[in-house]
Amino acid sequence: MATVVVLTSELVAPADETPAGAIWLSNLDIATRRGYTPTVYFYRPDGEPGFFTAEIIKNSLTRALAPFYPLAGRLGLDATGRLQVDSTGDGVVFMTVRSEYVLDDLMNDFVPCSEMATYSCFQSRRRPRRACYC
């Protein structure tokens, strides 16, 4: 079985300054299950040099986090205990991993490895709301 090696693990913040403050979760958000929904996107190379580098993805992520700044915040509670997003602009976890797997080997029964489930760069109670793996 091939292994997955985590090369880097870091917080990536929005490219531009974001509004600070708290954003209440909607009643629908509060009523639904809170949890992480793993999503993995695969891209086949198009033959161009530098088609898919971690730096390109990371730079795109920093630009995307600016208008979608709540994703770079942290889940918290207000003074009354209501759930909210603290718009801190702290960022999301970005990991670069290397593997011997071939894309075609993964398409049947893909299960993320346990190394990808840990945020080694962020040891705190207030974990990032999102993680990006490249």
- Picking from 1, 97, 18, 100, the residue whose alpha carbon sits closest to that of residue 62 is 18
CATH, domain 16-92+122-133, list 1.10.357.10, 3.90.870.10, 3.30.70.260, 3.30.559.10: 3.30.559.10
Q: Indicate the domain borders of the chain.
A: 16-92+122-133
Per-residue pLDDT tens listing for the chain (134 residues)? 668 888 998 999 999 999 999 999 888 888 887 776 666 677 777 788 877 788 988 999 999 999 999 989 998 999 999 989 999 999 998 888 888 877 777 666 666 665 555 555 555 555 555 555 55
Query: What's residue 36's pLDDT?
Result: 67
Spatial contact of 106 and 67, defined as CB atoms under 8 Å apart: no
